[in-house]
Amino acid sequence: AQSVTQPDIHITVSEGASLELRCNYSYGATPYLFWYVQSPGQGLQLLLKYFSGDTLVQGIKGFEAEFKRSQSSFNLRKPSVHWSDAAEYFCATLRQAAGNKLTFGGGTRVLVKP
Amino acid sequence: EPEVTQTPSHQVTQMGQEVILRCVPISNHLYFYWYRQILGQKVEFLVSFYNNEISEKSEIFDDQFSVERPDGSNFTLKIRSTKLEDSAMYFCASKGGQGDGYTFGSGTRLTVV
């Protein structure tokens, strides 16, 4: 069965500093991978996705993620964090089978210090 | 940009009551989903719906749950007799085709008292 692990439950970063959120997946074939952001009281907004091709994926809000097959990772990065980036971030993988359901990681809550 | 709309945003119900959570997916999308997130826990898959039938459901989606697409625009989740442990944020999502990403609604927070 596929699974997604986000090792960091909380990360605190200073405004203007860089951010990296870790995501590891367990899946036999090449997965479809996603990063979602959830601001307090809000829904899930897609930041970026990887299906195939270039392993460095650009997303919205200045985020990027890199797919590394050898490490089974899809880490999310942003060079300079803004206070509005404080939110919970979810990595997810999609299984191309009946239902095409997403499997989510446990999430990483990002706090931004002024 | 097209949105998935969910109503209501909050619902409080008494244990044992029936609730219907409503969703309007993006109009040309073909795949529809419900997920839930219990406070402090990860987002969990409930059910997927395609071609007017359930294509996959999780262990959570027992006989108390049902989904319906009654009129070609709405997609509803019904919980027949709510339990305290059904309190969660429920997310509806839709996607256009096999290779597309999901679009999620902003969720309905259900509180069972």
A97, pLDDT greater than 70: no
Which of B42, B98, B105 is facing A105, going by the closest CB pair? Answer: B42
CA distances to A24, A30, A65, A66, A67 from A53, in Å: 19, 11, 13, 11, 10
* E strand intervals along A1-114: 3-5, 10-14, 19-21, 24-26, 32-38, 45-50, 56-58, 64-68, 73-78, 87-94, 102-104, 108-113
pLDDT tens digits, A4-44? 999 999 999 999 999 999 999 987 677 889 999 998 877 88
Q: How big is the A-B interface in CB pairs under 8 Å? A: 55
Q: Cβ contacts (< 8 Å) between B93 and chain A: which residues?
A: 44
CB distance A100–B107 less than 8 Å?
Answer: no
A1, pLDDT greater than 80: no
pLDDT tens digits, A34-70? 999 998 877 889 999 998 888 999 999 999 999 999 9
pLDDT tens digits, B46-59? 999 998 999 999 99
Q: Which amino acid is at A83?
A: W
Please say whether the beta carbons of A50 and A38 come within 8 A.
Answer: no
